Amino acid sequence: MTETEFLLWVRGPALQIATIVFVLGIVARILQMVMLGRKANLAEARGSALAGGLRTMVTRSVPDKGTFQRSTFTIVSGYIFHIGLFVTIFLFAPHILLVDEVFGLSWPALPTPVVDATAVVTIITLLAVLIHRLKDPVMRFLSGFSDYLVWLVTFLPLLTGYIAFHRIGLSPTMLIALHILSVELLMVLFPFTKLMHTFSLFIARYYNGAIAGYKGVHS
Amino acid sequence: MSGPSLEKGLAAFREQIDAPVAAFFNSCMHCGMCADACLFYTETKDPTRTPIYKLEPLRKVWQQEYTFWGRSMKALGMSKPVTDEELGQWEELVYDSCTLCGRCSMVCPVGNDIAYMIRKMREGMAAAGHAPDGLIGATKRAVTIGSPMGVKLPALQAQIRHIEEDTGLEIPLDREGVDYMCLLSSMEIMNFPEYTAALAKIFHQAGVTWTISSEAFEATNSGIQIGVSEIAAELVQRIVDAAEKLKVKAVISPECGHAYMAIRWEGPNLVGKPFDFKVVHILEVLDELREQGRLKITGKEMQRLTYHDPCQIARRGGVLEQPRRLLDMIADDFVEMPEAGVMNWCCGAGGGVSSNERADDLRLKVFNRKKEQLDAVQAEGLVSACANCRIHLEEGLEEYHMDLPVLSLTETIAEHLAEDKS
């Protein structure tokens, strides 16, 4: 297989398989979760479960003061790398071009140097996050294989993308193929790992807020 | 609770797993923030006491039986099933190291209601025979005698006679058609008869009709704390039967945190139907009387007071503003502790911990969290609205050599009632 053939396979059949697994997997996992259902609450409500649920879906993004002081690194690094991932994935001109080609959807990009700098910051933050996980007594104790796997498959597309953009080492064809392959790895593992939290956290927050909201408490 | 077994425990786990549990487990990224929200971790620095880790056996059952990946691994014989020994190891984490205070549920960035899951996990732990002896004893007494502390009707009647002599007011027993049926915790009957006296004084002044049922006066519910829904339902049913028999408009939950959660929020769900009467917390009743101008107060407490929110009344119960409005009437110098209200720190003895002698040293150790919160405001009096918190607060303050009186909000209000003109 030549480099070009490899790229064509990665961009063709591999991408199709990954996309199918990604989309169907996410839908199936969400259904699997939600369809477990929950019992109707027979206690007289004091507040609205719906309003509480929707509210917590948003407000849980902002920690209270005491929590921020106790978990500063986790919160700040979490913010940085999540925003960094969003910027590098969705606001990088070549990515938007790709979406435009496939779906005919397009939106404004950030200037490439800005995205490039964001990528560097995000890579450094993700490395710091890994070191934190390995050093913090609680996080190290809680973490298992899947936590490190999830970190790795999130990190690889960022790293390969950065290397491909700066054309370091291998040929441009090989670099872009490896970058796409790393994204496919992420997509295939996504529905079966905690990467699903991207979607399920909103469901979790909804339930949390709904349970509290029913009792008239903002959670 | 005849014949507990691992199978029964795991079956109970399966029965408890619902959409929220699946969404919660699926979303946990092991960030560890719940550890810093939990006084059992912050005061021991023991990572096994991280709230989400206390649920590990329940999570395993969810993962192995409710996810594609887990089921595949299980089918291939590549997963380790939950064992009886494992549940035995977790007993200390699920019962001794958690008061169901729900502070972690407020902090989790993905929104996991961890306390909701601990409550569920205890159903499986109890069914598997891994509940603490202290709680098993309290639960047995609650079922057979009617009170976790073994308080019987004659003891209540004796206290009522004393209170009637002291106050010159009647404590109506089994009176039909009144507005309120008051529940009491055993702790209040035996240790704080002043609470019942306060009710008599306040209701007399406000012209509220009320009664205590001789058949269902106990407010607490050990069935919920240990995690046996059948028993919890039986205890709730006694109250329902008494309230219906006496045709009261509402049942008043006393100054007890979990009793309120049990009857107000879990009660109808346990017995499987909505109540025909209302359930209100005493602080809600007092605040309503205040609003209607029926609470006539004279004089104020001059020392600097602060208020400890009982977890199940405030964060898990929704009664947050009422105590503050009431305190505003009677406190000249009221100060809030840092993180008071919905983010308040638990005293360390709720959720059945105080009935579990094995946890005695631990609950006093973690009281250090409360001490630090109190130190920040230099209060001269600590007001609360839960007899269980109160006993533990008093014990904790003594342990840490802090000279601070612990006051009941209801009792303090009764002390400031204006002279009766009638």
Query: Which residue of B lies nearest to A69 if distances are taken between CA atoms?
Result: B36
Whether residue B140 lies inside any domain: the answer is no
The answer to the question of residue A53 being in a domain is yes
B313 and B253 within one domain: no
**What percentage of chain B reaches a pLDDT higher than 70?**
99
Tokens for A139?
């996080």
Give the span between the Cα atoms of A175 and A168, in whole angstroms.
Answer: 8
- Domain boundary residue among B288, B311, B341? B288
Q: Do B234 and B100 belong to one domain? A: no
User: What is the structure's pLDDT at B150?
Assistant: 87
Spatial contact of B180 and B248, defined as CB atoms under 8 Å apart: yes
Q: Is the pLDDT of residue B213 over 50?
A: yes
Residue A128 lies in a domain: yes
Tokens of residue A166, six digits: 């700066």
pLDDT at B421: 54
Mean pLDDT of chain B: 96
pLDDT of A85? 98
Q: Are B298 and B204 within one domain?
A: no
Q: Is the pLDDT of residue B151 over 80?
A: yes
- Provide mean pLDDT across the span B390-408: 96
| Burial track B122-148 (b if 16+ CB lie within 10 A, e otherwise) | bbbbbbbbbbbebbbbbbbbbbeebbb
Closest CA to B149 of B86, B181, B192: B192
Mark whether B122 and B200 lie in a shared domain.
no
The pLDDT value recorded for residue B68 is 87
Residues of A in Cβ contact (< 8 Å) with B68: 28-29, 32, 192
**CA B177, CA A53: separation in Å to the nearest integer?**
39
Determine, yes or no, domain membership for B71. Answer: yes
C-alpha to C-alpha distance for B352 and B308, rounded to whole angstroms: 19
Report the distance separating Cα B51 and Cα B101, nearest Å: 11
Residue B381 sits at the vertex; the CA angle it makes with B380 and B387, to the nearest 5 degrees, is 155
Average pLDDT for residues A22-45, to the nearest whole number? 96
Asked if B155 and B272 sit in the same domain, the reply is yes
Tens digit of each residue's pLDDT (9 = 90 or more) over B241-252? 999 999 999 999
CA angle B344, B333, B294 (to 5 degrees): 90
Summarised one tens digit per residue, pLDDT across range B302-326 is 999 999 999 999 999 999 999 999 9
Confidence of residue B138 (pLDDT cuts 50, 70, 90): very high
Quote the CA–CA distance of B223 and B98 in Å, as a whole number. Answer: 16
pLDDT digits (tens, 9 = 90+) for B336-355: 999 999 999 999 999 999 99
**Alpha carbon distance, N-terminus to C-terminus of chain A:** 56
Over residues A129-176, the pLDDT tens digits come to: 999 999 999 999 999 999 999 999 999 999 999 999 999 989 999 999
What does the pLDDT read at residue B2? 61
Handedness of CA B187, B176, B204, B312 (dihedral sign): positive
CA–CA min distance A72, chain B (Å):
10
Any B CB within 8 A of A74 CB: yes
For residue A16, tell me if it sits in a domain: yes
First to last CA, chain B: 54
The answer, for A28 touching chain B at a CB cutoff of 8 Å, is yes
- Minimal CA separation from A170 to chain B, in Å: 35
Q: Is A186 exposed, middle or buried (0-12, 13-18, 19+ CB in 10 A)?
A: buried
Domain count within chain B = 3
Whether the predicted pLDDT of A7 surpasses 80 = yes
Give residue B378's domain range: 290-415
Cβ of B78 under 8 Å from any chain A Cβ?
no
Residue A219 lies in a domain: no
Domain that holds residue A187: 3-36+43-214
| Closest by Cα among A167, A157, A174, A170 to A122 | A157
What is the pLDDT, as a whole number, of residue B47? 98
Query: At A156, phi and psi to the nearest 5?
Result: -55, -50
Asked if residue B14 and residue B124 are part of one domain, the reply reads: yes
CATH of the domain at A7: 1.20.950
Q: Say yes or no: A215 contacts chain B, CB-CB below 8 A.
A: yes
In a domain, B359, yes or no: yes
Q: For chain A, what is the domain count?
A: 1
- As given in the structure block, the two tokens for residue A98 are 């790709």
User: What pLDDT score does B237 carry?
Assistant: 97
A-contacting residues of B 45-74, CB under 8 Å? 45, 47-48, 50, 52-53, 66-69
My answer on whether B330 and B239 are in the same domain is no
pLDDT digits (tens, 9 = 90+) for B29-86: 999 999 999 999 999 999 999 999 999 999 999 999 999 889 999 999 999 999 999 9
B245/B314 same-domain check: no
B309 to chain A, any CB pair closer than 8 A? The answer is no
CATH code for the domain of B242:
1.20.1050
CB distance from A143 to chain B under 8 Å?
Answer: yes
Radius of gyration, CA atoms only, chain A: 20
CATH number, domain containing residue B394: 3.40.50
Q: Are strands B278-281 and B250-253 parallel, antiparallel or unpaired?
A: parallel
Q: Which of B263, B288, B313 is the last residue of a domain?
A: B288
B419 pLDDT more than 90: no
Averaged pLDDT, B202-215: 97
Tokens (6 digits) for B192:
């704080």
Of B254, B288, B322, which marks where a domain is finished?
B288
Cβ pair B389, B347 in contact under 8 A: yes
List CB contacts (< 8 A) between A59 and chain B. Answer: none
Q: Are residues B158 and B229 in the same domain?
A: yes
Distance of alpha carbon B101 from alpha carbon B345, whole angstroms: 8
Query: What pLDDT is attached to residue B3?
Result: 86
| Average pLDDT estimate for B224-237 | 96
Residue B98 maps to a domain: yes
pLDDT-derived band at B1, boundaries 50, 70, 90: very low
Q: Find the angle CA(B316)-CA(B317)-CA(B321) to the nearest 5 degrees.
A: 115
The secondary structure element, H or E, covering residue B251 is: strand B250-253
Same structural domain for residues B273 and B295? Answer: no
For residues B268 and B367, membership in a common domain is answered with no
- What strand order describes the sheet that includes B331-334? B331-334, B301-307, B381-384, B406-408
Same domain? B280 vs B374: no
Query: Nearest CB to B20: which of A60, A207, A215?
Result: A207
Q: Using the beta-carbon criterion (under 8 Å), do A141 and B17 form an inter-chain contact? A: no
